[in-house]
């Protein structure tokens, strides 16, 4: 049969039969071809599914949107493996947030492996692309700049695969607000502060979730000498902090001070103690300033500080812990006054026991300088400083709520004595003492202040008290601004003793200016004494009124014998 006859068959029965056979044969061939194509398509799809990518690549890395913490970041690896001849992995580029990191990847046979090691926190994207996404694109851009068809621009990149994920590897922050200082001997401990929102804060088996602002508070039952706090953020990163737990018998917190001065001898004497207790019960005062160490260098209780016993200074009548506990039972805070460098007991002992560098001496070194106080210890000497700080810490451990330093200054008569070992100015040495005291008392979370001369705000060198500098390390300064002590015309007041309101007002203006912007607030020492008194109740009320009108609702009231005038004070219930 010719080709022509196949194309134009005769119209006969025989030819019709041949045509039908031919048609069946063609259909069979077509069906076989279709079957083969289907089989090939099925095999190809199965291979693509097995490889994990339809672009001839098998990829492995984080899930879409996965949150990567610090531990996971250390192990984070991306792999790209060729499953066919095209594309070749050695011709691919890796772009991390648009930056080419291909050179940081390792190529082994048909696999490209990228391990970033460290990444900044935030949303990240790693793209696997053809070279047009990287080097070739740059070459095209260069060619365009040299005169190629700029309208066409560089070749469009071809993205083959991408991973989008978020890195959160920075550990959570932690700022504690409680416990702030010492805690009671018994009962639970409150742990509070701020961290990241949604983070879990755990102490032992107790835990809590921080709120939307990051704030948390957790009450913990069993606590030893250390408190270990573990914070775990939403990504699983952790921060661990260990705090020392300082325990005291009890503590009373005091926001404002309105108090009177009590010597330890007065507090041990019922006839002097009871009127003060009555003022406390009537709400006329809210706390007690109790002497711990007085102007004679004596302690009011049996101390465990070795030097106090060695020099025979601890002769006082009080059981300090019991005295504090009794006051705390009344919800009365205790402000422990420590006379610092005016110390005849230490001065005489040091001179007699060949520790003469511990005291301020006459210019010729023949004796220790007595001045107006029968002896001053050396405010630069390490052993003197440690002695005072040991007393303060012992008081804090006994539950004393505030420490009030007094006589942290040099003695008068600068031309008449020498200070062994002084390498700075007296003012600088006194400031350093306040810094060291602040550092020593910090674990107890108690406030400390200093009684200072009324003139020190604007005449610091007269007694060695640089108030702005001291105020950086103290919670309050207590200037002694007794009207009876000022001279005529001081601060523009004609007769300070007869004008208590005016002199207190004028003085506090100077003190508020000297401490502006500093840590310490001003709490004045006022007077309730018979010295130069002409109307004692009125004089007391006028001093308090001036203080309140200056915006200060705090004061300490002085009487050296601890005898006061209750009718002059307002009861606050």
| Cis upstream peptide for 179 (omega within 30°) | yes
Strands (E), 486-559: 521-522, 525-527, 555-558
Looking at residue 439, its pLDDT comes to 97
| Model pLDDT for residues 418-465, shown as the tens digit of each residue | 999 999 999 999 999 999 999 999 999 899 999 999 999 999 999 999
Element (H or E) spanning 383, and its range?
helix 382-397
Other Cβ atoms closer than 10 A to 298: 21
Mean pLDDT for all residues in the chain:
88
CATH class of 258-568: alpha beta
Compute the average pLDDT of residues 311-315.
Answer: 95
Compute the average pLDDT of residues 74-103.
Answer: 92
Q: Which of 6-10, 84-88, 360-364 has the lowest mean pLDDT?
A: 6-10
What residue spans of 249-333 are helical by DSSP H?
Answer: 264-267, 270-281, 306-310, 320-329
Compute the average pLDDT of residues 102-110.
Answer: 93
Give the three-class secondary structure for 38. helix
Res. 26: pLDDT tops 80: no
Q: Do domains 57-167 and 175-248 have the same CATH topology?
A: yes
Q: How confident is the model at residue 5 (pLDDT cuts 50, 70, 90)?
A: very low
Domain ranges (residues) in the chain: 57-167, 175-248, 258-568
| Model pLDDT for residues 41-73, shown as the tens digit of each residue | 344 333 333 335 657 899 999 999 999 999 999
| Model pLDDT for residues 267-284, shown as the tens digit of each residue | 999 999 999 999 999 999
Res. 548: pLDDT tops 50: yes
Looking at residue 53, its pLDDT comes to 60
Range 238-275 burial, b when 16+ CB lie within 10 A, else e: bbeeeeeebebbbbbebeebbbbbbbbbbbbeeebeeb
Strands (E), 172-312: 175-178, 183-184, 189-194, 200-203, 206-209, 215-220, 226-232, 238-244, 247-248, 258-262, 287-293, 299-301
Residue written as tokens 């039952």? 221
Looking at residue 3, its pLDDT comes to 28
> CA-CA distances (angstroms) from residue 321 to 298, 309, 313, 330?
18, 18, 18, 15
Looking at residue 310, its pLDDT comes to 97
> CA-CA distances (angstroms) from residue 217 to 116, 221, 444?
38, 13, 20
| Model pLDDT for residues 131-147, shown as the tens digit of each residue | 864 444 445 445 544 55
CATH of 57-167, one of 3.40.50.970, 3.40.1390.10, 2.60.40.10, 2.130.10.10: 2.60.40.10
pTM here? 0.73
CATH of 175-248, one of 3.30.70.1560, 3.10.450.710, 3.40.50.300, 2.60.40.10: 2.60.40.10
């Amino acid at each position: 049969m010719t080709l022509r006859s196949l194309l134009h068959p005769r119209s006969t029965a025989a030819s019709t039969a041949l045509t039908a056979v031919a048609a069946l044969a063609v259909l069979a061939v077509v069906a076989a071809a279709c079957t083969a194509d289907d089989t090939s398509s099925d095999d190809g799809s199965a291979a693509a599914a097995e490889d994990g990518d339809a672009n001839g690549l098998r990829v492995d890395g984080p899930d879409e949107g996965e949150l990567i913490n610090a531990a996971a970041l250390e192990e984070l690896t991306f792999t790209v493996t060729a499953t066919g001849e095209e594309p070749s992995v050695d011709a691919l580029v890796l772009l991390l947030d648009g930056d080419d990191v291909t050179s940081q990847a390792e190529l082994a046979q048909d696999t490209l492996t990228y391990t970033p090691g460290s990444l900044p926190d935030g949303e990240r994207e790693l793209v696997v692309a053809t070279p047009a996404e990287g080097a070739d694109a740059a070459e095209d851009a260069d060619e365009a700049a040299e005169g190629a068809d700029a309208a066409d621009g560089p070749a469009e990149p071809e993205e083959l695969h991408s991973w989008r994920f978020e890195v959160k590897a920075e550990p959570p922050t932690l700022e504690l607000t409680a416990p702030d200082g010492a805690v009671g001997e018994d009962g639970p401990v409150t742990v509070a502060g701020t961290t990241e929102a949604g983070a879990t804060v755990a102490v032992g088996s107790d835990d809590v979730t921080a709120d939307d602002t990051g704030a948390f508070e957790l009450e913990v039952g069993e606590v030893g000498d250390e408190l270990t706090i573990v914070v775990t953020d939403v990504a699983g990163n952790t921060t661990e902090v260990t705090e020392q737990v300082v325990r005291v018998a009890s503590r009373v917190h005091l926001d404002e001070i309105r108090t009177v001065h009590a010597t330890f001898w007065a507090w041990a004497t019922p006839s002097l103690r009871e009127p003060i207790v009555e003022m406390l019960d009537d709400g006329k005062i809210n706390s007690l300033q109790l002497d711990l160490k007085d102007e004679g260098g004596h302690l009011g209780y049996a101390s465990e500080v070795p030097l106090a016993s060695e020099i025979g200074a601890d002769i006082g009548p009080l059981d300090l812990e019991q005295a504090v506990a009794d006051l705390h039972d009344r919800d009365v805070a205790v402000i422990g006054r420590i006379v610092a460098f005016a110390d005849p007991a230490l001065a005489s002992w040091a001179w007699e026991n060949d520790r003469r560098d511990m005291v301020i001496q006459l210019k010729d070194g023949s004796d220790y300088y007595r001045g107006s106080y029968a002896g001053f210890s050396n405010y630069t000497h390490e052993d003197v400083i440690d002695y005072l700080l040991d007393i303060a810490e012992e008081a804090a451990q006994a539950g004393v709520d505030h420490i009030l330093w007094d006589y942290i200054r040099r003695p008068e008569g600068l031309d008449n004595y020498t200070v062994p070992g002084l390498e700075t100015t007296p003012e600088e040495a006194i400031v350093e003492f306040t810094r060291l005291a602040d550092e020593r008392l910090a674990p107890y979370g108690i406030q400390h202040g200093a009684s200072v001369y009324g003139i020190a705000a604007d005449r610091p060198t007269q007694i060695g008290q640089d108030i702005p500098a001291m105020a950086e390390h103290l919670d309050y300064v207590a200037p002694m601004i007794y009207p009876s002590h000022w001279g005529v015309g001081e601060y523009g007041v004609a007769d300070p003793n007869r004008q208590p309101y005016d002199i207190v007002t004028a003085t506090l203006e100077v003190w508020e200016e000297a401490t502006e912007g500093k840590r310490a607030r001003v709490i004045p020492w006022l007077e309730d004494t018979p010295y130069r008194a002409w109307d004692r109740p009125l004089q007391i009320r006028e001093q308090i009124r001036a203080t309140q009108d200056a915006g200060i609702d705090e004061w300490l009231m002085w009487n050296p014998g601890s005898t006061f005038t209750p009718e002059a004070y307002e009861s606050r219930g």
